[in-house]
């Protein structure tokens, strides 16, 4: 598969003490690649997560939601090629079988095993393939994070990962993350499947607080196509092997540094998903200021970012600011036409309810020919602001999704 023109190289991700990844071939689809990932986690690993708000979630999402309440983890199992969503009791049985088999291997409770699946909706996950894949992973040598990132992908055109570090109590801790996602991206919480591992010692409740806050600023601020998956899952695992004093609140030394590192990691992972948007050729940042509240600004920004007319205009390198006006107006948020201003890059193209007098489209045309596009909107009503990220909409998106099951 040809990598996206917006692809970024996979970084050198270090191993995380207390987390051992391995991959195997369960052969969920007819492909010659690993499609099952098994990460063993040492005892004492804390876990936090954010999961889809879809009203038709997969049994994996429901399993993780229940297990997260306990705050501890010993393993992660990720299946690629079959989402196991909308599969009734057979789907639930598959998740239970996977968790039970991994738990028996590790001598832990099934609730300590977290399961995620991605791929076609409506086809029950074959238990025999899952169990055979797990058995192979149990005895497979430890792999690097690149192999794990490749194994969790589906329509992804490049593997995605990020790394950050922070100092806590004189100890340097490492955060490494991998993520998959390319289409069906308009998360109402997270984005497809993302997994973060850190050797820091963090109490589960505080880890959940930090991940939820990071999600609101990152994963919940991206969109490729306006469609929220049934399987969206982001999990963070803290093994505690760095030996730092455990973080339990922002009052602990190093908590701010760790929170900043987690935010930076999540933002990088989220933006990598946009850069691999199905058929994407341009990465778009939408900035909205002057809204009545930050929430209102976010909804206006997402209205712009999700507009097929805006996205196709950017794909065609057409400075059609009227489509941005349309997207602002349909958002259902407070707006005043005569206070609105719009810019592409650094060039203001419209303000005060009409086009800028003497507007020269040349610098805008130059900006739109690039791969990194910026759209700015000021509503002129208040101090609310938000930034979201999306990509353009090309015929490539249609081709990929028209042929997805075949």
401 is in an annotated binding site: yes
296 is in an annotated binding site: no
Q: Is 191 a catalytic residue?
A: yes
Nearest C-alpha neighbor of 298 from the set 184, 192, 379, 228: 379
CB 28 within 8 A of CB 128: no
Query: Which residue in the block uniquely carries the two structure tokens 């055979």?
Result: 132
Q: How far apart are CA 331 and CA 304, in angstroms?
A: 8
Helix (H) or strand (E) holding 236: strand 233-238
DSSP-derived 3-state class of residue 344: strand
399 is in an annotated binding site: no
Q: Single out the catalytic residue among 191, 228, 230, 239.
A: 191
| DSSP secondary structure, 358-381, as one string | T---HHHHHHHTSSEEEEEEE-SS
111 is in an annotated binding site: no
Tell me how far CA of residue 67 lies from CA of 47, 111, 209, in angstroms.
9, 5, 16
82 is in an annotated binding site: no
54 is in an annotated binding site: no
Q: What is the dihedral of CA 70, 152, 231, 120, to 10 degrees?
A: -140
CB 14 within 8 A of CB 197: no
Helix (H) or strand (E) holding 115: strand 113-120
Q: How many CB atoms lie under 10 A from the CB of residue 351?
A: 17
Q: How far apart are CA 321 and CA 300, in angstroms?
A: 15
Nearest C-alpha neighbor of 37 from the set 73, 75, 77: 77
Nearest C-alpha neighbor of 232 from the set 53, 34, 21, 2: 53
Binding-site annotation: residue ranges: 154, 180, 191, 278, 401, 406
Q: Which residues are annotated as a binding site for substrate?
A: 154, 180, 191, 278, 401, 406
Active site residues: 191
């Amino acid at each position: 598969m040809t990598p996206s023109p917006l692809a970024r190289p996979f970084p050198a991700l270090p191993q995380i003490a207390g987390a051992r990844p391995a991959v195997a071939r369960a052969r969920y689809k007819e492909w010659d690649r690993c499609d099952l990932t098994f990460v063993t986690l040492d005892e004492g690993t804390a876990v936090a997560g954010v999961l889809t708000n879809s009203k038709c979630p997969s049994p994996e999402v429901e399993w993780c939601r229940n297990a997260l309440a306990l705050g501890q983890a010993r393993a992660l199992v990720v299946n690629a090629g079959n989402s196991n969503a909308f599969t009734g009791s057979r789907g639930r049985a598959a998740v239970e079988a996977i968790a039970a088999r991994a738990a028996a291997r590790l001598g832990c409770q099934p609730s300590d095993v977290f399961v995620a699946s991605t791929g076609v909706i409506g086809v029950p996950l074959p238990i025999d393939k899952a169990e055979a894949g797990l058995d192979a992973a149990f005895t497979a040598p430890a792999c690097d994070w690149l192999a794990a990132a490749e194994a969790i992908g589906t329509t992804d055109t490049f593997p995605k990962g990020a790394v950050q570090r922070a100092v806590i109590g004189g100890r340097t801790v490492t955060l490494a993350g991998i993520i998959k996602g390319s289409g069906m991206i308009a998360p109402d919480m997270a984005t497809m499947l993302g997994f973060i591992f850190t050797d820091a010692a963090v109490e589960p409740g505080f880890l959940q607080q930090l991940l939820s806050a990071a999600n609101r600023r990152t994963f919940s601020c991206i969109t490729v196509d306006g469609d929220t998956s049934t399987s969206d899952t982001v999990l963070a695992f803290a093994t505690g092997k760095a030996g730092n004093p455990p973080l339990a609140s922002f009052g602990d030394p190093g908590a701010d540094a760790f929170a900043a590192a987690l935010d930076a990691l999540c933002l990088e992972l989220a933006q990598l998903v946009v850069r691999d948007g199905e058929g994407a050729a341009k990465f778009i940042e939408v900035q909205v200021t002057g809204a009545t509240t930050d929430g209102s600004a976010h909804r206006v920004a997402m209205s712009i970012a999700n507009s097929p007319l805006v996205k196709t205009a950017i794909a065609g390198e057409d400075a059609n600011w009227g489509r941005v006006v349309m997207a602002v107006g349909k958002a259902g948020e407070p707006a005043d036409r005569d206070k609105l201003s719009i810019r592409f890059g650094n060039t203001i193209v419209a303000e005060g309810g009409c086009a800028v007098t003497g507007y020269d489209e040349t610098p805008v045309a130059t900006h739109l020919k690039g791969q990194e596009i910026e759209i700015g909107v000021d509503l002129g009503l208040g101090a609310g602001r938000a930034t979201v990220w999306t990509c353009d909409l090309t015929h490539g998106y249609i081709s990929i999704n028209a042929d997805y099951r075949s």
